[in-house]
Amino acid sequence: MVDYFQAESLLSEQEISYRDGVRKFVHEECMPVIVEHFDRESFPMELIPRMAELGLFGLHVDGYGCKKASHTI
């Protein structure tokens, strides 16, 4: 992937690792089912536990079991 704006140089190793993990999840688990759900006008609810496991919910919330992260994650 080409980084025309050199944005990756602004990210920490942790942010790059997080981005790469989410990118892999989207490629391997979301893309195979997204067309079917788009056509049915539905959401792939089976992906929610995996999204929670990756920490995709509550990134900017402090407390309530959420881990506060930087705004670039």
Q: What is the mean pLDDT of residues 13-25?
A: 94
Cβ atoms of 57 and 51 within 8 Å: the answer is yes
Give the CATH number of the domain where residue 39 resides: 1.10.540.10
Residue 58 included in any domain: yes
* CB-count burial class (<10 Å; 0-12, 13-18, 19+) for 18: buried
Q: How many structural domains is the chain composed of?
A: 1
Per the structure, the complete domain to which residue 57 belongs is given by 13-73
Query: How far apart are alpha carbons 42 and 48 in whole angstroms?
Result: 13
Cβ atoms of 19 and 56 within 8 Å: the answer is no
**Segment 24-69, tens digit of pLDDT:** 999 999 999 999 999 999 999 999 999 999 988 887 787 777 777 7
Residue 39 included in any domain: yes
Residue 4 included in any domain: no
Residue 8 included in any domain: no
Residue 40 included in any domain: yes
Task: Give helix then strand counts, H and E, for the chain.
Answer: 3, 0
Residue 5 included in any domain: no
